[in-house]
Amino acid sequence: MNPSSLSLALIQEVVTIAEKAGEAVMEIYGQEDFAISYKEDDSPLTRADIASHEIILRHLCAFTPDLPVLSEESESLPYAERKSWGALWLVDPLDGTKEFIKRNGEFTINIALIEESRPVLGVVHAPALNMTYFAAENVGAFKRSADNQVRRIVAAHEQHMPLRIVTSRSHRGDRLERFLEKIGPFEHIRMGSSLKLCLVAEGAAHLYPRLGATMEWDTAAAQCVVEMAGGTVTDLRGKTLIYNKPDLHNPHFMVSCPSPLWQNFLEPLSPQS
């Protein structure tokens, strides 16, 4: 798919697919009890993850039959098979399964179009919050709020102090704590799933440091939203995150508004090898 073909109509089709998956997720979310199993890495898995995956896979394959789909719940595919993919859909059917289980509403459905290792279209749908972020290259970044109003979003451009830093509600670590101690006064926002990146995209936060393990499908759609809003998603060396790598793990990364202010605090961090 040529980037010049990206349009609001194409985005709306992907938004609709995410919303269909969201309806299935919310049907399970509303049940009094739902079964939870665990993967080999001890991450939780629910029927909502699988239902969302199946709906997204079915609709994307019908919508763009020539494009492969790589989902968190797909069977593992070797890089020898993936490396020839110039374009693909990268999907997290339920990002923030821990938040889903906690029933705090902070979970999302993420769908990204990757072209030549870059996310050029992204949809992040939060069904429990009735909210959707979406973006595409040459189109811009937008947010549809619960009142169904759609507005263009832009990352914060001014250096307001104290900084507003968003971190994970469920994933912390000593390295992150040491990093935060170096910064000094800041307003702390805790949030689940890829909504953390979206808060930077809409200017509600200046920085999201992620000094822990994530996978490509966790970030791709929201990275597109951040970048089209004027922000950045880079590793600790300042290189933009890329996708469909041999190893699908992300490096540790920073999501930042255009202000370079956070660079002042990188000295105590050694880049992840």
Judged against a pLDDT cut of 60, whether residue 262 lies above it is answered with no
Rounded CA gap, 251 and 272, in Å?
A: 7
pLDDT tens per residue, range 106-164: 999 999 999 999 999 999 999 999 999 999 999 999 999 999 999 999 998 766 667 89
* Mean local confidence (pLDDT), 216-233: 97
* Mean local confidence (pLDDT), 225-244: 96
pLDDT confidence of 272, banded at 50, 70, 90?
A: very low
Domains contained in the chain, CATH given: 3-152 (3.30.540.10), 163-265 (3.40.190.80)
pLDDT at position 269 is 58
Judged against a pLDDT cut of 60, whether residue 231 lies above it is answered with yes
Q: How many CB atoms within 10 Å of residue 103?
A: 11
pLDDT tens per residue, range 193-212: 999 999 999 999 999 999 99
